[in-house]
Chains A and B, each alone.
Chain A
Amino acid sequence: MHRSSSLMHLPAWVVQTSSIFGLFLVWTVASRFVAEPAILPSPAASFQAMADLIARGTLTSAVQESLITLVIGCAICIICVVPFALSIAQSRQLAMILQPMVRFISCVPAIALIPLFIVWFGFSTKAVYATLFYTSAIPLLFSVITGVQKIPRVYADGLRPLGAGPFRIVRDVYLPGAMPGIEVGIRLALSYGWRAVIAGELIIGSSGLGRVLAQARAANQVDQIVAVMIAIAVLFLIIDRLILFPWNQLISSRWSSF
Protein backbone atom coordinates (compact mmCIF):
# COMPACT_ATOMS: atom_id res chain seq x y z
CA MET A 1 0.00 0.00 0.00
CA HIS A 2 3.05 2.24 -0.14
CA ARG A 3 2.12 3.44 -3.62
CA SER A 4 -0.71 5.62 -2.32
CA SER A 5 1.28 7.37 0.39
CA SER A 6 2.10 10.55 -1.50
CA LEU A 7 -1.43 11.27 -2.71
CA MET A 8 -3.34 11.82 0.52
CA HIS A 9 -3.40 8.13 1.46
CA LEU A 10 -5.90 7.19 -1.23
CA PRO A 11 -6.00 3.59 -2.46
CA ALA A 12 -3.79 3.04 -5.49
CA TRP A 13 -6.63 2.25 -7.87
CA VAL A 14 -8.37 5.56 -7.09
CA VAL A 15 -5.19 7.47 -7.93
CA GLN A 16 -4.69 5.44 -11.10
CA THR A 17 -8.22 5.84 -12.44
CA SER A 18 -8.53 9.49 -11.46
CA SER A 19 -6.48 10.62 -14.47
CA ILE A 20 -8.88 8.79 -16.78
CA PHE A 21 -11.81 10.55 -15.12
CA GLY A 22 -9.88 13.78 -15.57
CA LEU A 23 -9.63 13.07 -19.30
CA PHE A 24 -13.41 12.56 -19.53
CA LEU A 25 -13.96 15.78 -17.63
CA VAL A 26 -11.75 17.76 -20.03
CA TRP A 27 -13.51 16.06 -22.96
CA THR A 28 -16.97 17.02 -21.61
CA VAL A 29 -15.93 20.63 -21.11
CA ALA A 30 -14.24 20.78 -24.52
CA SER A 31 -17.27 19.34 -26.34
CA ARG A 32 -19.49 21.93 -24.63
CA PHE A 33 -17.07 24.62 -25.70
CA VAL A 34 -16.80 23.40 -29.31
CA ALA A 35 -20.58 22.84 -29.39
CA GLU A 36 -20.38 21.05 -32.71
CA PRO A 37 -21.18 17.27 -32.44
CA ALA A 38 -19.98 16.69 -36.03
CA ILE A 39 -16.48 17.67 -34.90
CA LEU A 40 -16.26 16.68 -31.25
CA PRO A 41 -19.22 14.73 -29.85
CA SER A 42 -19.81 14.74 -26.11
CA PRO A 43 -19.00 11.65 -24.04
CA ALA A 44 -22.71 11.07 -23.57
CA ALA A 45 -23.34 11.10 -27.32
CA SER A 46 -20.41 8.80 -27.92
CA PHE A 47 -21.59 6.28 -25.38
CA GLN A 48 -25.06 6.50 -26.89
CA ALA A 49 -23.50 5.71 -30.28
CA MET A 50 -21.67 2.79 -28.70
CA ALA A 51 -24.90 1.49 -27.20
CA ASP A 52 -26.58 1.75 -30.61
CA LEU A 53 -23.73 -0.08 -32.32
CA ILE A 54 -23.92 -2.82 -29.69
CA ALA A 55 -27.71 -3.03 -30.02
CA ARG A 56 -27.41 -3.44 -33.78
CA GLY A 57 -24.76 -6.12 -33.28
CA THR A 58 -22.24 -4.24 -35.42
CA LEU A 59 -19.80 -3.56 -32.62
CA THR A 60 -19.95 -7.00 -31.02
CA SER A 61 -19.34 -8.85 -34.27
CA ALA A 62 -16.59 -6.40 -35.26
CA VAL A 63 -14.89 -6.89 -31.87
CA GLN A 64 -15.08 -10.62 -32.36
CA GLU A 65 -13.59 -10.41 -35.85
CA SER A 66 -10.74 -8.16 -34.78
CA LEU A 67 -9.90 -10.18 -31.68
CA ILE A 68 -9.95 -13.44 -33.60
CA THR A 69 -7.63 -11.94 -36.21
CA LEU A 70 -5.31 -10.72 -33.45
CA VAL A 71 -5.24 -14.01 -31.54
CA ILE A 72 -4.83 -16.28 -34.56
CA GLY A 73 -2.34 -13.96 -36.21
CA CYS A 74 -0.23 -13.64 -33.08
CA ALA A 75 -0.39 -17.39 -32.48
CA ILE A 76 0.92 -18.03 -36.00
CA CYS A 77 3.58 -15.42 -35.43
CA ILE A 78 4.69 -16.96 -32.11
CA ILE A 79 4.75 -20.48 -33.55
CA CYS A 80 6.92 -19.35 -36.46
CA VAL A 81 9.16 -16.78 -34.82
CA VAL A 82 10.03 -18.26 -31.41
CA PRO A 83 11.63 -21.49 -32.70
CA PHE A 84 13.38 -19.52 -35.44
CA ALA A 85 14.75 -17.00 -32.92
CA LEU A 86 15.84 -19.75 -30.52
CA SER A 87 17.75 -21.52 -33.24
CA ILE A 88 19.51 -18.49 -34.65
CA ALA A 89 20.36 -17.14 -31.20
CA GLN A 90 22.23 -20.39 -30.49
CA SER A 91 24.93 -19.34 -32.87
CA ARG A 92 26.37 -15.93 -32.24
CA GLN A 93 27.69 -15.77 -35.79
CA LEU A 94 24.32 -16.53 -37.36
CA ALA A 95 22.64 -13.94 -35.15
CA MET A 96 25.31 -11.44 -36.13
CA ILE A 97 24.77 -12.11 -39.85
CA LEU A 98 20.97 -12.02 -39.71
CA GLN A 99 20.43 -9.11 -37.36
CA PRO A 100 21.40 -6.30 -39.77
CA MET A 101 19.08 -7.76 -42.40
CA VAL A 102 16.16 -8.01 -40.00
CA ARG A 103 16.88 -4.51 -38.74
CA PHE A 104 16.88 -3.23 -42.31
CA ILE A 105 13.55 -4.89 -43.07
CA SER A 106 12.11 -3.53 -39.86
CA CYS A 107 12.82 0.01 -41.05
CA VAL A 108 9.88 -0.27 -43.46
CA PRO A 109 6.76 0.53 -41.45
CA ALA A 110 3.95 -1.99 -41.85
CA ILE A 111 1.56 0.69 -43.12
CA ALA A 112 3.86 1.20 -46.09
CA LEU A 113 3.59 -2.48 -46.93
CA ILE A 114 -0.21 -2.61 -46.93
CA PRO A 115 -0.45 -1.63 -50.64
CA LEU A 116 1.82 -4.55 -51.46
CA PHE A 117 -0.24 -6.91 -49.31
CA ILE A 118 -3.41 -5.72 -51.07
CA VAL A 119 -1.81 -6.50 -54.44
CA TRP A 120 -0.79 -9.95 -53.21
CA PHE A 121 -3.86 -10.94 -51.22
CA GLY A 122 -6.63 -8.60 -52.37
CA PHE A 123 -8.94 -6.67 -50.04
CA SER A 124 -9.24 -9.66 -47.72
CA THR A 125 -8.40 -10.62 -44.14
CA LYS A 126 -5.32 -12.36 -45.55
CA ALA A 127 -3.85 -8.93 -46.19
CA VAL A 128 -4.69 -7.96 -42.59
CA TYR A 129 -2.95 -11.10 -41.35
CA ALA A 130 0.11 -10.25 -43.41
CA THR A 131 0.22 -6.76 -41.90
CA LEU A 132 -0.15 -8.19 -38.40
CA PHE A 133 2.50 -10.85 -38.95
CA TYR A 134 4.99 -8.37 -40.34
CA THR A 135 4.41 -5.93 -37.48
CA SER A 136 4.51 -8.48 -34.66
CA ALA A 137 7.29 -10.74 -35.89
CA ILE A 138 10.07 -8.19 -35.61
CA PRO A 139 9.74 -7.09 -31.96
CA LEU A 140 9.10 -10.71 -31.02
CA LEU A 141 12.21 -11.88 -32.84
CA PHE A 142 14.44 -9.27 -31.22
CA SER A 143 13.02 -9.84 -27.75
CA VAL A 144 13.59 -13.58 -27.94
CA ILE A 145 17.13 -13.19 -29.28
CA THR A 146 17.94 -10.70 -26.52
CA GLY A 147 16.37 -13.10 -24.02
CA VAL A 148 18.60 -15.95 -25.17
CA GLN A 149 21.72 -13.81 -25.19
CA LYS A 150 21.08 -12.82 -21.57
CA ILE A 151 21.26 -16.45 -20.44
CA PRO A 152 24.64 -17.09 -18.81
CA ARG A 153 26.70 -19.36 -21.03
CA VAL A 154 27.49 -21.63 -18.14
CA TYR A 155 23.87 -22.86 -18.06
CA ALA A 156 24.23 -24.50 -21.47
CA ASP A 157 27.83 -25.55 -20.78
CA GLY A 158 26.66 -27.15 -17.56
CA LEU A 159 24.25 -29.44 -19.37
CA ARG A 160 26.62 -30.71 -22.05
CA PRO A 161 28.72 -32.83 -19.65
CA LEU A 162 25.43 -34.29 -18.38
CA GLY A 163 24.94 -35.73 -21.85
CA ALA A 164 22.58 -33.09 -23.25
CA GLY A 165 22.38 -32.69 -27.03
CA PRO A 166 21.43 -29.51 -28.89
CA PHE A 167 17.70 -30.26 -28.74
CA ARG A 168 17.85 -30.80 -24.98
CA ILE A 169 19.72 -27.57 -24.51
CA VAL A 170 17.14 -25.60 -26.47
CA ARG A 171 14.31 -27.24 -24.53
CA ASP A 172 15.84 -27.11 -21.04
CA VAL A 173 17.99 -23.98 -21.19
CA TYR A 174 17.16 -21.60 -24.03
CA LEU A 175 13.39 -21.93 -23.98
CA PRO A 176 12.88 -21.53 -20.22
CA GLY A 177 15.83 -19.14 -19.92
CA ALA A 178 14.48 -16.89 -22.64
CA MET A 179 11.02 -16.87 -21.02
CA PRO A 180 11.33 -13.27 -19.79
CA GLY A 181 12.36 -12.24 -23.32
CA ILE A 182 9.61 -14.31 -24.91
CA GLU A 183 7.11 -12.77 -22.53
CA VAL A 184 8.20 -9.24 -23.42
CA GLY A 185 8.12 -10.25 -27.09
CA ILE A 186 4.58 -11.60 -26.89
CA ARG A 187 3.43 -8.48 -25.09
CA LEU A 188 4.97 -6.32 -27.81
CA ALA A 189 3.61 -8.59 -30.53
CA LEU A 190 0.09 -8.27 -29.13
CA SER A 191 0.18 -4.52 -28.61
CA TYR A 192 1.85 -3.72 -31.96
CA GLY A 193 -0.32 -6.40 -33.55
CA TRP A 194 -3.50 -4.84 -32.21
CA ARG A 195 -2.56 -1.55 -33.86
CA ALA A 196 -1.67 -3.36 -37.09
CA VAL A 197 -5.01 -5.17 -37.11
CA ILE A 198 -6.96 -1.93 -36.71
CA ALA A 199 -4.85 -0.07 -39.27
CA GLY A 200 -5.01 -2.97 -41.72
CA GLU A 201 -8.78 -3.32 -41.39
CA LEU A 202 -9.19 0.42 -41.72
CA ILE A 203 -7.32 0.55 -45.01
CA ILE A 204 -8.22 -2.84 -46.41
CA GLY A 205 -11.81 -2.66 -45.13
CA SER A 206 -12.26 -6.40 -44.97
CA SER A 207 -13.75 -6.81 -41.51
CA GLY A 208 -13.55 -5.90 -37.85
CA LEU A 209 -13.31 -2.69 -35.89
CA GLY A 210 -11.19 -1.00 -38.53
CA ARG A 211 -13.95 -1.45 -41.09
CA VAL A 212 -16.54 -0.01 -38.69
CA LEU A 213 -14.26 2.98 -38.28
CA ALA A 214 -13.94 3.39 -42.04
CA GLN A 215 -17.70 3.12 -42.50
CA ALA A 216 -18.38 5.64 -39.72
CA ARG A 217 -15.97 8.05 -41.33
CA ALA A 218 -17.62 7.60 -44.72
CA ALA A 219 -21.01 8.33 -43.10
CA ASN A 220 -19.57 11.27 -41.14
CA GLN A 221 -20.57 9.64 -37.84
CA VAL A 222 -17.97 11.13 -35.53
CA ASP A 223 -19.73 9.83 -32.42
CA GLN A 224 -19.36 6.30 -33.79
CA ILE A 225 -15.68 6.89 -34.57
CA VAL A 226 -15.09 7.94 -30.98
CA ALA A 227 -17.16 5.02 -29.69
CA VAL A 228 -15.03 2.53 -31.64
CA MET A 229 -11.83 4.24 -30.47
CA ILE A 230 -12.91 3.77 -26.88
CA ALA A 231 -13.78 0.14 -27.54
CA ILE A 232 -10.32 -0.45 -29.06
CA ALA A 233 -8.54 1.09 -26.08
CA VAL A 234 -10.64 -0.68 -23.46
CA LEU A 235 -10.24 -4.06 -25.15
CA PHE A 236 -6.49 -3.79 -25.21
CA LEU A 237 -6.36 -2.62 -21.62
CA ILE A 238 -8.35 -5.68 -20.61
CA ILE A 239 -6.04 -8.03 -22.51
CA ASP A 240 -2.95 -6.43 -21.05
CA ARG A 241 -4.09 -6.20 -17.42
CA LEU A 242 -6.02 -9.43 -17.12
CA ILE A 243 -3.83 -11.79 -19.11
CA LEU A 244 -0.37 -10.44 -19.77
CA PHE A 245 0.30 -8.64 -16.50
CA PRO A 246 -0.34 -11.61 -14.16
CA TRP A 247 1.80 -13.80 -16.41
CA ASN A 248 4.63 -11.28 -16.22
CA GLN A 249 4.44 -11.29 -12.39
CA LEU A 250 4.74 -15.06 -12.30
CA ILE A 251 7.74 -15.13 -14.62
CA SER A 252 9.65 -12.34 -12.94
CA SER A 253 9.30 -13.98 -9.54
CA ARG A 254 10.58 -17.36 -10.72
CA TRP A 255 13.39 -15.97 -12.84
CA SER A 256 14.59 -13.44 -10.28
CA SER A 257 17.98 -15.03 -9.74
CA PHE A 258 19.51 -13.63 -12.87
Chain B
Amino acid sequence: MIQLNERKPILQAINLRHEYEARGQKIVALQDVNLTINAGDFVTVVGPSGCGKSTLAKIFAGLGTPTSGEALYAGKPIKGASSERGMVFQELAVLPWRTVVGNIGHGLEIAGMPKAEREQRVAELVRLIGLEGFEKKYPSELSGGMRQRVAVARTWATRPPVILMDEPFAAVDAITRLTLQEELIRLARTTKQTVVFITHSVEEAVFLGDYIVAMSSRPGRVLEIVPVPDMGINRTWEQMIRDPRIEAIVSRVFELVRGRAVAPSTERQHA
Protein backbone atom coordinates (compact mmCIF):
# COMPACT_ATOMS: atom_id res chain seq x y z
CA MET B 1 0.00 0.00 0.00
CA ILE B 2 1.15 3.49 -0.81
CA GLN B 3 1.64 5.55 2.32
CA LEU B 4 -0.09 8.84 1.72
CA ASN B 5 1.40 11.93 3.23
CA GLU B 6 -1.51 13.15 5.35
CA ARG B 7 -1.07 16.83 4.54
CA LYS B 8 -0.58 16.44 0.82
CA PRO B 9 -3.05 18.52 -1.21
CA ILE B 10 -5.23 16.30 -3.35
CA LEU B 11 -7.88 18.72 -4.63
CA GLN B 12 -7.26 22.37 -5.23
CA ALA B 13 -9.33 25.19 -6.60
CA ILE B 14 -7.41 28.29 -7.69
CA ASN B 15 -9.38 31.44 -8.44
CA LEU B 16 -12.21 29.37 -9.81
CA ARG B 17 -14.95 31.13 -11.65
CA HIS B 18 -17.84 29.47 -13.37
CA GLU B 19 -20.54 31.04 -15.46
CA TYR B 20 -23.58 29.44 -16.97
CA GLU B 21 -25.23 30.78 -20.01
CA ALA B 22 -28.97 30.25 -20.13
CA ARG B 23 -31.00 31.85 -22.90
CA GLY B 24 -28.57 34.70 -23.39
CA GLN B 25 -28.34 35.41 -19.67
CA LYS B 26 -25.12 34.94 -17.81
CA ILE B 27 -25.25 33.44 -14.34
CA VAL B 28 -22.15 33.53 -12.18
CA ALA B 29 -22.29 30.30 -10.23
CA LEU B 30 -18.83 30.47 -8.70
CA GLN B 31 -16.48 33.38 -8.17
CA ASP B 32 -13.02 33.66 -6.62
CA VAL B 33 -13.15 30.18 -5.16
CA ASN B 34 -9.89 29.13 -3.56
CA LEU B 35 -9.79 25.87 -1.72
CA THR B 36 -7.24 23.24 -0.81
CA ILE B 37 -8.32 19.79 0.28
CA ASN B 38 -5.70 17.43 1.64
CA ALA B 39 -5.57 13.70 1.10
CA GLY B 40 -7.62 11.89 3.71
CA ASP B 41 -9.75 14.90 4.61
CA PHE B 42 -13.45 14.62 5.16
CA VAL B 43 -14.70 17.98 3.98
CA THR B 44 -18.26 19.14 4.10
CA VAL B 45 -19.51 21.95 1.90
CA VAL B 46 -22.56 23.80 3.10
CA GLY B 47 -24.43 26.74 1.67
CA PRO B 48 -27.84 27.94 0.57
CA SER B 49 -29.54 26.53 -2.49
CA GLY B 50 -28.06 27.82 -5.73
CA CYS B 51 -24.70 28.85 -4.29
CA GLY B 52 -22.78 26.63 -6.68
CA LYS B 53 -22.10 23.54 -4.58
CA SER B 54 -23.05 21.11 -7.34
CA THR B 55 -21.13 23.18 -9.86
CA LEU B 56 -18.00 22.93 -7.71
CA ALA B 57 -18.41 19.18 -7.31
CA LYS B 58 -18.85 18.68 -11.07
CA ILE B 59 -15.71 20.69 -11.76
CA PHE B 60 -13.74 18.54 -9.31
CA ALA B 61 -15.24 15.41 -10.89
CA GLY B 62 -14.10 16.63 -14.31
CA LEU B 63 -17.63 16.86 -15.66
CA GLY B 64 -17.44 20.59 -16.19
CA THR B 65 -14.66 23.01 -17.05
CA PRO B 66 -14.44 26.26 -15.13
CA THR B 67 -14.82 29.50 -17.08
CA SER B 68 -11.55 30.66 -15.57
CA GLY B 69 -9.18 29.58 -12.84
CA GLU B 70 -7.90 26.11 -12.25
CA ALA B 71 -9.00 22.90 -10.60
CA LEU B 72 -6.18 20.51 -9.70
CA TYR B 73 -6.11 16.88 -8.71
CA ALA B 74 -2.87 15.73 -7.09
CA GLY B 75 -1.23 18.86 -8.45
CA LYS B 76 -2.28 18.34 -12.05
CA PRO B 77 -5.07 20.18 -13.88
CA ILE B 78 -8.29 18.18 -14.06
CA LYS B 79 -9.13 17.22 -17.63
CA GLY B 80 -12.26 15.14 -17.91
CA ALA B 81 -13.69 12.59 -15.52
CA SER B 82 -11.58 9.82 -14.08
CA SER B 83 -12.17 6.75 -11.97
CA GLU B 84 -9.91 8.34 -9.35
CA ARG B 85 -12.67 10.75 -8.43
CA GLY B 86 -16.00 9.09 -7.81
CA MET B 87 -19.19 11.09 -7.60
CA VAL B 88 -22.61 10.59 -6.10
CA PHE B 89 -25.07 12.91 -7.77
CA GLN B 90 -27.82 15.02 -6.32
CA GLU B 91 -30.14 13.70 -9.01
CA LEU B 92 -30.76 10.01 -9.23
CA ALA B 93 -28.05 8.61 -11.48
CA VAL B 94 -28.46 4.83 -11.10
CA LEU B 95 -29.57 3.13 -14.29
CA PRO B 96 -33.22 2.02 -14.29
CA TRP B 97 -32.47 -0.97 -16.56
CA ARG B 98 -29.94 -2.48 -14.19
CA THR B 99 -30.71 -4.31 -10.98
CA VAL B 100 -29.39 -3.25 -7.58
CA VAL B 101 -26.36 -5.53 -7.93
CA GLY B 102 -25.96 -4.60 -11.59
CA ASN B 103 -25.73 -0.95 -10.61
CA ILE B 104 -23.50 -1.39 -7.59
CA GLY B 105 -21.07 -3.58 -9.53
CA HIS B 106 -21.03 -1.35 -12.61
CA GLY B 107 -17.79 0.46 -11.81
CA LEU B 108 -16.08 -2.83 -10.95
CA GLU B 109 -17.32 -4.28 -14.24
CA ILE B 110 -15.86 -1.30 -16.11
CA ALA B 111 -12.59 -1.78 -14.23
CA GLY B 112 -12.59 -5.38 -15.45
CA MET B 113 -12.79 -7.12 -12.08
CA PRO B 114 -13.44 -10.88 -12.41
CA LYS B 115 -17.05 -11.88 -11.84
CA ALA B 116 -16.57 -13.93 -8.69
CA GLU B 117 -14.60 -11.24 -6.92
CA ARG B 118 -17.04 -8.60 -8.06
CA GLU B 119 -20.03 -10.50 -6.74
CA GLN B 120 -18.37 -10.86 -3.37
CA ARG B 121 -17.56 -7.16 -3.13
CA VAL B 122 -21.07 -6.21 -4.22
CA ALA B 123 -22.63 -8.55 -1.65
CA GLU B 124 -20.55 -6.87 1.07
CA LEU B 125 -21.79 -3.45 0.00
CA VAL B 126 -25.40 -4.59 -0.24
CA ARG B 127 -25.14 -5.72 3.38
CA LEU B 128 -23.49 -2.46 4.40
CA ILE B 129 -26.29 -0.31 2.96
CA GLY B 130 -28.96 -2.64 4.31
CA LEU B 131 -30.46 -3.78 1.03
CA GLU B 132 -30.28 -7.55 1.50
CA GLY B 133 -33.18 -9.21 -0.27
CA PHE B 134 -33.37 -6.44 -2.88
CA GLU B 135 -30.38 -7.58 -4.94
CA LYS B 136 -32.38 -8.48 -8.02
CA LYS B 137 -34.78 -5.53 -7.87
CA TYR B 138 -34.80 -2.71 -10.38
CA PRO B 139 -34.56 0.91 -9.19
CA SER B 140 -38.23 1.51 -10.06
CA GLU B 141 -39.11 -1.10 -7.44
CA LEU B 142 -37.19 0.69 -4.67
CA SER B 143 -37.94 3.73 -2.55
CA GLY B 144 -36.16 7.01 -3.22
CA GLY B 145 -33.85 6.56 -0.23
CA MET B 146 -32.99 3.00 -1.22
CA ARG B 147 -32.08 4.14 -4.73
CA GLN B 148 -29.79 6.80 -3.34
CA ARG B 149 -28.09 4.20 -1.16
CA VAL B 150 -27.47 2.15 -4.30
CA ALA B 151 -25.89 5.23 -5.89
CA VAL B 152 -23.60 5.68 -2.89
CA ALA B 153 -22.60 2.01 -2.93
CA ARG B 154 -21.92 2.14 -6.68
CA THR B 155 -19.45 4.96 -6.19
CA TRP B 156 -17.93 3.41 -3.09
CA ALA B 157 -17.46 0.02 -4.74
CA THR B 158 -14.42 0.99 -6.81
CA ARG B 159 -12.75 2.71 -3.80
CA PRO B 160 -11.63 5.84 -5.61
CA PRO B 161 -9.11 8.01 -3.73
CA VAL B 162 -11.58 10.90 -3.83
CA ILE B 163 -15.34 10.69 -3.42
CA LEU B 164 -17.53 13.67 -4.18
CA MET B 165 -20.97 13.34 -2.65
CA ASP B 166 -23.63 15.84 -3.67
CA GLU B 167 -26.40 15.75 -1.07
CA PRO B 168 -26.53 11.97 -1.16
CA PHE B 169 -28.83 11.57 1.83
CA ALA B 170 -31.37 14.24 0.95
CA ALA B 171 -34.03 11.66 0.07
CA VAL B 172 -33.28 9.32 2.97
CA ASP B 173 -35.49 9.39 6.06
CA ALA B 174 -34.04 11.03 9.18
CA ILE B 175 -33.51 7.78 11.08
CA THR B 176 -31.79 5.89 8.27
CA ARG B 177 -29.75 9.00 7.60
CA LEU B 178 -28.24 8.87 11.09
CA THR B 179 -27.10 5.29 10.56
CA LEU B 180 -25.73 6.05 7.10
CA GLN B 181 -23.83 9.08 8.38
CA GLU B 182 -22.18 7.11 11.17
CA GLU B 183 -21.40 4.32 8.74
CA LEU B 184 -19.95 6.78 6.25
CA ILE B 185 -17.60 8.29 8.83
CA ARG B 186 -16.38 4.87 9.89
CA LEU B 187 -15.86 3.80 6.29
CA ALA B 188 -14.05 6.98 5.25
CA ARG B 189 -11.77 6.88 8.29
CA THR B 190 -10.81 3.25 7.89
CA THR B 191 -10.17 3.50 4.15
CA LYS B 192 -8.41 6.90 4.38
CA GLN B 193 -10.35 8.13 1.40
CA THR B 194 -10.84 11.80 0.75
CA VAL B 195 -14.50 12.74 0.89
CA VAL B 196 -16.08 15.99 -0.25
CA PHE B 197 -19.57 15.91 1.13
CA ILE B 198 -22.08 18.51 -0.01
CA THR B 199 -25.13 19.25 2.04
CA HIS B 200 -27.49 22.08 2.84
CA SER B 201 -27.92 20.84 6.38
CA VAL B 202 -25.62 22.66 8.79
CA GLU B 203 -25.95 19.93 11.43
CA GLU B 204 -25.00 17.26 8.93
CA ALA B 205 -22.02 19.31 7.79
CA VAL B 206 -20.78 19.75 11.36
CA PHE B 207 -21.41 16.14 12.31
CA LEU B 208 -19.53 14.68 9.35
CA GLY B 209 -16.75 17.08 8.52
CA ASP B 210 -13.18 17.53 9.69
CA TYR B 211 -13.82 21.04 8.54
CA ILE B 212 -16.66 22.86 6.91
CA VAL B 213 -16.53 24.97 3.78
CA ALA B 214 -19.25 27.57 4.22
CA MET B 215 -20.45 29.15 0.99
CA SER B 216 -22.58 32.16 0.15
CA SER B 217 -24.81 32.56 -2.84
CA ARG B 218 -25.07 34.90 -5.81
CA PRO B 219 -22.25 34.76 -6.68
CA GLY B 220 -21.09 31.57 -4.99
CA ARG B 221 -18.03 32.21 -2.87
CA VAL B 222 -16.24 30.45 -0.07
CA LEU B 223 -16.99 32.50 3.05
CA GLU B 224 -14.98 30.68 5.63
CA ILE B 225 -13.45 27.34 6.43
CA VAL B 226 -14.55 26.25 9.86
CA PRO B 227 -12.56 23.47 11.56
CA VAL B 228 -14.30 20.91 13.76
CA PRO B 229 -12.54 19.37 16.77
CA ASP B 230 -11.71 15.73 16.24
CA MET B 231 -14.47 13.61 17.70
CA GLY B 232 -12.89 10.32 16.73
CA ILE B 233 -13.92 7.63 14.37
CA ASN B 234 -16.84 6.41 16.47
CA ARG B 235 -18.61 9.70 16.84
CA THR B 236 -22.33 9.47 17.41
CA TRP B 237 -25.02 12.07 17.25
CA GLU B 238 -25.72 11.70 20.95
CA GLN B 239 -22.11 12.50 21.78
CA MET B 240 -21.98 15.40 19.35
CA ILE B 241 -25.08 17.28 20.46
CA ARG B 242 -23.94 17.27 24.07
CA ASP B 243 -20.61 18.93 23.24
CA PRO B 244 -20.69 22.72 23.74
CA ARG B 245 -17.88 23.24 21.21
CA ILE B 246 -19.99 21.62 18.54
CA GLU B 247 -22.95 23.75 19.48
CA ALA B 248 -20.83 26.87 19.01
CA ILE B 249 -19.65 25.69 15.60
CA VAL B 250 -23.20 24.93 14.48
CA SER B 251 -24.36 28.41 15.35
CA ARG B 252 -21.29 29.97 13.73
CA VAL B 253 -21.91 28.12 10.46
CA PHE B 254 -25.59 29.01 10.61
CA GLU B 255 -24.69 32.69 10.89
CA LEU B 256 -22.28 32.37 7.98
CA VAL B 257 -24.60 30.68 5.51
CA ARG B 258 -27.49 32.92 6.41
CA GLY B 259 -25.31 35.95 5.69
CA ARG B 260 -25.52 37.37 9.23
CA ALA B 261 -21.94 36.88 10.25
CA VAL B 262 -19.45 39.70 10.25
CA ALA B 263 -17.13 38.47 7.55
CA PRO B 264 -13.59 38.23 8.92
CA SER B 265 -11.87 38.88 5.60
CA THR B 266 -12.92 41.81 3.42
CA GLU B 267 -15.79 44.12 2.65
CA ARG B 268 -18.75 41.85 1.97
CA GLN B 269 -21.61 44.17 2.64
CA HIS B 270 -24.60 43.30 0.56
CA ALA B 271 -27.68 45.30 -0.23
Q: Which residues of A contact B (CB under 8 A)?
A: 152, 154-155, 157-164, 168, 172-173, 176-177, 179, 254-258
Contacts and interface: CB of A to CB of B under 8 A. Distances in A.
Given A172-B106, A254-B138, A257-B140, A161 B95 contact: no
A25 to B, nearest CB: 46
A157 B57 CA distance: 12
B91 A159 contact: no
Interface of B: 58, 61-63, 80-83, 85-87, 89, 91-97, 106-107, 110-111, 138-140, 151, 154-155, 158, 160, 164
Given A154-B92, A154-B93, A173-B95, A162 B140 contact: no
Contacts of B85: 161
18 contacts: A155-B93, A155-B95, A157-B93, A158-B89, A158-B95, A158-B151, A160-B81, A161-B61, A161-B62, A161-B83, A161-B160, A161-B164, A162-B107, A173-B95, A176-B97, A177-B97, A256-B96, A258-B96
Contact of A162 (B86, B97, B164): B86
Contacts of B86: 161-162
Contact of A157 (B63, B139, B158): B63
Given A254-B97, A254-B138, A159 B106 contact: yes
Contact of B154 (A154, A162, A179): A162
Contacts of B87: 158, 161
Contacts of B140: 256-257
A161 B86 CA distance: 5
Contacts of A157: 58, 63, 81, 89, 93
The A interface is mostly helix, strand or loop, or mixed, namely helix
B97 A255 contact: yes
A255 B97 CA distance: 6
A90 to B, nearest CB: 15
Nearest to B163: A161
Most buried by B among A162, A168, A176, A257: A162
Most buried by A among B87, B96, B107, B164: B96
B83 A163 contact: yes
- Can you list the 10 inter-chain pairs with the closest CB atoms, starting with the nearest? A163-B83, A158-B93, A160-B81, A257-B140, A162-B107, A257-B96, A161-B87, A154-B93, A176-B97, A154-B91
A163 B82 contact: yes
A161 B61 CA distance: 7
B106 A162 contact: yes
Nearest to B157: A162
A183 to B, nearest CB: 13
Nearest to B142: A257
Contacts of B107: 162-163
Nearest to B102: A172
Contacts of A173: 95
Given A158-B87, A257-B138, A257-B139, 8 more contacts: A154-B89, A157-B63, A161-B81, A161-B155, A162-B155, A163-B110, A176-B97, A254-B96
A256 B160 CA distance: 32
Most buried by B among A160, A161, A162, A163: A161
Contact of A176 (B63, B95, B106, B154): B95
A255 B140 CA distance: 8
A256 B139 CA distance: 10
A137 B31 CA distance: 48
A179 B95 CA distance: 13
Given A162-B86, A257-B140, A179 B93 contact: no
B83 A162 contact: yes
Most buried by A among B62, B82, B97: B97
A164 B106 CA distance: 10
A91 to B, nearest CB: 16
Contacts of B58: 157
Contacts of B94: 158
Nearest to A175: B97
B83 to A, nearest CB: 3
A101 to B, nearest CB: 26
A164 B110 contact: yes
A38 B158 CA distance: 76
B97 A179 contact: yes
